[in-house]
């Protein structure tokens, strides 16, 4: 179920990326091209975040909740979706001017918004109105939680990241937390009571084969529950549907999502040699181009064993080694151990899509999270070179 749900979300994001790139190749220029590139960048970033979230889920890490602005999540999701939705669908967005932040994981919050909007789109094959509303819900109370942790009349999904999915309570006095409501409604075909009763079940779908996985709303339900919230649905055949997602209010003292930073002006390299070892040719090509543009000399290796051999030949000149953690023949960690025997003070950067905390062993290597950008790589290399010399 998880694999299918992620594939569903990932395909939507790739649709945005590939579609926008095709429009640019077709001749989009000026402001239109800038808008397409910006949307492509947002979709690619979201795909990267989604992948990271799944890696964290596989390792049973807790949700990375922060106090987030729901209106920003709505705006970003609609920015990604507008060009993939039939122009006959009219958007209406309303947000409470005093909207509270929500306590949520930013990646999974985006999943909720996108899946609800895509579900609404699919319910209006001939066009209609898609309405999104974000508002404070100070007076609502969660539905009763029955024995065993199941919310009455709803489906209980995986609780790996939420051993207690009951809504959070305020520490002082134990009163229920306040909630924020995200509402997505459409003017589409609507649902019968029979369909509505099954709408959150994994793999249940009324769409034709190949047009849906039946996991979009199940993912919405599971994410809401994992955050201590819930989902309500109202629908009438021929009169559209409305989904209300309730998420707990965040507090301003919570960790907040950092604001995007501007272009980072890095000191250029002075001809230092960097060895990049990665079993993916496209990643090596990206790294080579990024570092050469910054003034570095680049050596490449396709696996850990080759990295050790290249380093053995060039040890006197290599300033930094960038090692992918997972490589054939010899892993990044094994290559690191062998290289350290040859040159104990060499500077090493591990690169991986997994969030690894013990990869450096004795703590003298740095870590670069994949997918990285040219700027990320150049910054990591510069920081490694400028760090104090280590002695074996």
Q: Is residue 368 predicted with pLDDT exceeding 70? A: yes
CATH architecture of the region 273-386: 3-Layer(aba) Sandwich (3.40)
Q: Is residue 219 predicted with pLDDT exceeding 70? A: yes
Q: Is residue 187 predicted with pLDDT exceeding 70? A: yes
Considering only CA atoms, which of 212, 135, 229, 134 is closest in space to residue 176?
A: 229
- pLDDT tens figures, 118-172: 888 888 988 899 999 999 998 887 776 433 444 433 333 332 233 333 344 433 3
Q: Which residue has the higher pLDDT, 80 or 306?
A: 306
For residues 369 and 51, the answer to whether their CB atoms sit within 8 Å is: no
Q: Is residue 103 predicted with pLDDT exceeding 80? A: yes
Q: Is residue 353 predicted with pLDDT exceeding 60? A: yes
pLDDT of res. 58: 52
CB atoms within 10 A of CB 207: 12
pLDDT of res. 277: 95
pTM: 0.51
Looking at the chain, list the stretches that DSSP marks H as alpha helix, in order from N- to C-terminal side: 2-25, 30-58, 70-81, 106-122, 193-198, 216-226, 281-293, 304-314, 332-342, 374-386
Cα separation, 228 vs 226, whole angstroms: 6
Instruction: Tell me which range, 254-258, 284-288, 333-337, is most confidently predicted by mean pLDDT.
Output: 333-337
Q: Give the position of tokens 């989904």.
A: 243
| Integer CA distances (angstroms), 345 to 79, 274, 323, 384, 392, in order | 48, 15, 16, 12, 6
Q: Which residue has the higher pLDDT, 31 or 306?
A: 306
pLDDT of res. 342: 93
Give the list of residues 6+ apart from residue 147 with CB closer than 8 angstroms, or none. Answer: none
Q: Which residue has the higher pLDDT, 247 or 257?
A: 247
Q: Is residue 112 predicted with pLDDT exceeding 60? A: yes
Long-range Cβ contact pairs of 204-212 (< 8 A, separation 24 or more): 207/122, 211/122, 212/8, 212/122
Q: Is residue 246 predicted with pLDDT exceeding 70? A: yes
Q: Is residue 52 predicted with pLDDT exceeding 70? A: no
Question: Percent of the chain at pLDDT above 90?
Answer: 27
pLDDT of res. 24: 87
Residue 87 CA to its chain's centroid (Å):
27
Pairing of strands 297-301, 318-324: unpaired
Considering only CA atoms, which of 328, 327, 375 is closest in space to residue 350?
A: 327
pLDDT of res. 209: 37
Q: Which two tokens stand for residue 303?
A: 């696996």
| Mean pLDDT of all residues in 280-287 | 86
pLDDT of res. 4: 63
Question: Percent of the chain at pLDDT above 70?
Answer: 73
CATH code of the domain occupying 62-138+156-248: 3.30.565.10
Cα separation, 308 vs 337, whole angstroms: 10
SS3 of 5-42: HHHHHHHHHHHHHHHHHHHHHCCCCHHHHHHHHHHHHH
Q: Is residue 59 predicted with pLDDT exceeding 50? A: no
Q: Is residue 117 predicted with pLDDT exceeding 50? A: yes
- Cα-Cα-Cα-Cα dihedral sign, residues 365, 366, 368, 369: positive
Residue 125 CA to its chain's centroid (Å):
28
Beta bridge partners of 151: 145
For all residues of the chain together, what is the average pLDDT? 77
Ranges of each domain in the chain: 62-138+156-248, 273-386
Q: Which residue has the higher pLDDT, 9 or 295?
A: 295
């Amino acid at each position: 179920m998880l694999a299918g749900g992620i594939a569903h979300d990932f395909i939507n994001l790739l649709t945005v990326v590939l579609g926008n790139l095709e429009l640019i190749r077709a001749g989009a220029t000026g402001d239109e091209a800038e808008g397409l590139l910006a949307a492509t960048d947002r979709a690619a970033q979201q795909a990267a975040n989604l992948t990271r979230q799944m890696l964290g889920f596989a390792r049973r890490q807790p949700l990375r909740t922060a106090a987030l602005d729901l209106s920003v999540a709505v705006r970003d999701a609609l920015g990604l979706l507008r060009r993939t939705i039939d122009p006959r669908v009219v958007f209406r967005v309303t947000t409470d001017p005093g909207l509270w932040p929500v306590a949520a994981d930013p990646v999974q919050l985006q999943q909720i918004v996108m899946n609800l909007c895509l579900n609404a789109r699919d319910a209006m094959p001939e066009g209609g109105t898609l309405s999104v509303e974000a508002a404070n819900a100070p007076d609502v109370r969660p539905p009763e939680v029955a024995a065993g942790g199941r919310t009455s009349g709803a489906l209980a999904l995986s609780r790996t990241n939420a051993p207690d999915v009951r809504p959070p309570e305020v520490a002082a006095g134990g009163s229920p937390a306040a909630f924020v409501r995200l509402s997505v409604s459409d003017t589409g075909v609507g649902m019968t009571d029979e369909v509505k009763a099954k709408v959150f079940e994994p793999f249940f779908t009324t769409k034709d084969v190949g047009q849906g996985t039946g996991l979009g709303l199940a993912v919405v339900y599971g994410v809401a529950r994992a955050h201590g919230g819930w989902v309500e649905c109202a629908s009438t055949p021929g009169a559209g549907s409305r989904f209300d997602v309730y998420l707990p209010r965040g507090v301003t003292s919570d960790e907040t999502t950092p604001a995007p930073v501007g272009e980072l002006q890095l000191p250029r390299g002075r001809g230092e040699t960097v060895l990049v070892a990665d079993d993916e040719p496209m990643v090596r090509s990206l790294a080579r181009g990024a570092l050469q543009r910054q003034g570095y000399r680049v050596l490449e290796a396709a696996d850990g064993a080759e990295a050790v051999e290249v380093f053995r030949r060039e040890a006197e000149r290599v300033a930094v080694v960038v090692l992918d953690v997972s490589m054939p023949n010899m892993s990044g960690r094994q290559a690191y151990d062998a290289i350290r025997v040859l040159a104990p003070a060499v500077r090493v950067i591990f690169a991986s899509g997994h969030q690894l905390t013990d990869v450096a062993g004795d703590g003298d290597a740095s870590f670069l999270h994949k997918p990285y950008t040219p700027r990320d790589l150049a910054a990591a290399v510069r920081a490694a070179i400028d760090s104090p010399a280590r002695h074996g």
